[in-house]
Structure 1
Amino acid sequence: MTRRLLGGVLAAVAAFALVTAPAASAVSAATTTFSGTVALSNCSGSVVKPAGTPDTAPALVLSNGHCLESGFPDPGEVIVGQQSTRTFSLLSSDGKSSLGTLKAKKVVYATMTDTDVSLYQLDTTYAAIKQKYRVSPLELVATHPTAGTHIDVVSGYWKTIYSCSIDGFVHELHENGWVWKDSIRYTPECKTIGGTSGSPIVETATGKVIGVNNTSNDDGQRCTLDNPCEIDGSGNVTVHPGTKYGEETFGIPACLTAASEIDLNWAGCTLPKP
């Protein structure tokens, strides 16, 4: 997993992709900016809103489940409504400065089962953010992404945009006991590094969020920490050294209410339940 762990509190889990700051390799897409993205203490994230959610609703920040300040959810664990006071640095469109600090009210939803996602509900609304900072949220789409789509992985932590395409989808991605389904495999141009975890995967043509960046096979090992392996529908295991991955987010909007709350019992909601 490609998060960057900082500080003494996180030292106990520093084995999870603690990466020092190399010179990041990236290709920036002309149509993609940092507007709507945030930097966490150890990861990246974005302010997201499903189409149809009112601007008066509490704003949501999307990141990875393994970026939670409370630690990594166990396989099979689902977190709903956990109180949080986490802060996020809202970036300017060029990524060169912070416009201000956003504050979480709670973790609406988080898991590392089937997917690797965390959703924070903020103590402010989309409308208030737009009025104060002139920043609109990124739209979280409810449709499955397509192979070959040109994408940008926008890291608020590194203030870097990684540009590539969707190479394909993985039936199951296994890493150290966690299993993620229908994961997004990138083409080699996206050389994401530690700290890019939680970055929105933005469809370049539309500027909309179709996934969240989460891991890579760093050392060519098989199904170990920081070395996920691919499992196809027949159970065959393959390892792709250096390959980077993300998780789909199209299933999230069907589980969110107009008040930015999670309802896992809604018809059409397929997110894992506690």
Structure 2
Amino acid sequence: MPSRIAAAALTAAGTLALAGAAAFSAGSAQAAPARPEAPPAQRAAVDFTGIVALSNCSGSLVRGPRSRDTDAALVLTNGHCLESGMPEAGEVIVDQRSSRTFTLLDRTGGRNLGTLQATRVEYATMTDTDVTVYRLNTSYAAIQKRYGIPALRLSTARPHDGTPIRVVSGYWRKIYGCDIDATVYRLREADWTWKDSIRYKPECQTIHGTSGSPVIDARTHQVVAINNTGNDDGERCTLNNPCEIDRAGKVTVRRGIHYGQQTYLLARCLGQGSDVVLSKACALPKP
């Protein structure tokens, strides 16, 4: 939510929070040398592969299960990171022209590889979820050939509670590591309500500027969610202070706890040609 946006409103206190945040640096996120007995199939640590930085948020280069190498590439970030402003509750935006640019990072997060450019907003909303999908003016194959960087895969499965995750911020070039604590029935912040949000364990203290960061399953390296908010001040259901609502309507406030929105529904709605296909089979909100 806006609490994760950096923008010009980032204060000195926010900068201090970065220094003290429980974050992994690019160096600390690297895998330790494998011991001789390590299984051959063991994966390396999650790094900055496929990660981009926006002017005020984080994001990632992603592809769905039916994507082809020749398809126009997609960038994923939050709905509230949209350059035209935050969508209102109930608003869904599709096929909106855009020329927004994104900085593609190398695997270490220490170097800028180049600039990617959008041609349009493929899909954006802050209803039920908090997501923007940008279509780029180049293909997955062209990006791989020029920069050597593949896109991250979107998982079509729900993440389970207890899943080890990494929240990778292109804006701050930081990797936060923890587990999924629980799935929240409803998460409300000001006018917006999100369904089936994931709550992180306290170790993932994401901050302003981490909005739009992919939440990556540390085991499969697939994107299972998108980072979007946290309760800053302990307030109840206000801007920057989301509250949890269970099936019985009970409201719970967890100060200092952070959340993401699951992306499996988006993965299931992505068709060939990088189109978000809003058919009856697609459970995403529709215009």
Matched, 1:248 2:245: no
- Report what 1:98 is aligned to: 112
Asked if 2 retains the 8 angstrom alpha-carbon contact of 1:3 and 1:18, the reply is no
* Structure 2 counterpart SS, 1:131: helix
Q: Distance in 1 between matches of 2:217 and 2:89?
A: 29
- Report what 2:132 is aligned to: 118
Q: Distance in 1 between matches of 2:234 and 2:104?
A: 35
- Report what 2:22 is aligned to: 25
- Paired AA for residue 55 in structure 2: S
Asked if 2 retains the 8 angstrom alpha-carbon contact of 1:19 and 1:193, the reply is no
- Paired AA for residue 266 in structure 2: I
Q: Distance in 2 between matches of 1:107 and 1:213?
A: 19
Change (3 A) 1:145 1:102: same
Say what the alpha-carbon RMSD is for the aligned residues: 1.5
Q: Distance in 2 between matches of 1:154 and 1:220?
A: 25
Asked if 2 retains the 8 angstrom alpha-carbon contact of 1:171 and 1:182, the reply is yes
Asked if 1 retains the 8 angstrom alpha-carbon contact of 2:140 and 2:150, the reply is yes
- Report what 2:6 is aligned to: 4
- Report what 1:136 is aligned to: 150
Please report the TM-score for the alignment, with normalisation by the length of structure 2. Answer: 0.90
Asked if 2 retains the 8 angstrom alpha-carbon contact of 1:148 and 1:168, the reply is yes
* Structure 1 counterpart SS, 2:15: coil
Change (3 A) 1:213 1:18: farther
- Paired AA for residue 26 in structure 1: A
* Structure 2 counterpart SS, 1:271: coil
Q: Distance in 2 between matches of 1:3 and 1:18?
A: 14
- Report what 1:10 is aligned to: none
Asked if 2 retains the 8 angstrom alpha-carbon contact of 1:62 and 1:120, the reply is yes
Q: Distance in 1 between matches of 2:115 and 2:150?
A: 15
Q: Which structure is larger by alpha-carbon Rg, 1 or 2?
A: 2
Q: Distance in 2 between matches of 1:209 and 1:239?
A: 27
- Report what 2:53 is aligned to: 39
Q: Distance in 2 between matches of 1:260 and 1:18?
A: 40
Q: Distance in 2 between matches of 1:19 and 1:45?
A: 24
For residues 83-139 of structure 1, the C-alpha deviation after alignment (integer angstroms, 9 at most, x for no partner) is 000000000100001000000010000000000000000000000000000000000
Listed as ranges, the gaps of 5+ residues in structure 1 are: 7-13
- Report what 2:195 is aligned to: 181
- Paired AA for residue 178 in structure 1: W
Asked if 2 retains the 8 angstrom alpha-carbon contact of 1:5 and 1:18, the reply is no
Asked if 1 retains the 8 angstrom alpha-carbon contact of 2:58 and 2:77, the reply is yes
- Report what 2:241 is aligned to: 227
Runs of 4+ in structure 1 deviating by more than 6 angstroms, as ranges, are: none
Q: Size of the alignment, in residue pairs?
A: 265
- Paired AA for residue 238 in structure 1: T
- Paired AA for residue 148 in structure 2: R
Q: Distance in 1 between matches of 2:56 and 2:14?
A: 12
- Report what 1:209 is aligned to: 223
Please state how far the C-alpha of 1:49 moved relative to its aligned partner: 0.5
Q: 56, 78, 103: which is aligned to 1:89? A: 103
Please state how far the C-alpha of 1:253 moved relative to its aligned partner: 2.0
- Paired AA for residue 21 in structure 1: T
Asked if 2 retains the 8 angstrom alpha-carbon contact of 1:18 and 1:194, the reply is no
Q: Distance in 2 between matches of 1:83 and 1:18?
A: 35
Q: Distance in 2 between matches of 1:18 and 1:128?
A: 40
Q: Distance in 1 between matches of 2:242 and 2:196?
A: 13
Please state how far the C-alpha of 1:35 moved relative to its aligned partner: 0.9
Please state how far the C-alpha of 1:81 moved relative to its aligned partner: 0.4
Matched, 1:237 2:238: no
- Report what 1:77 is aligned to: 91
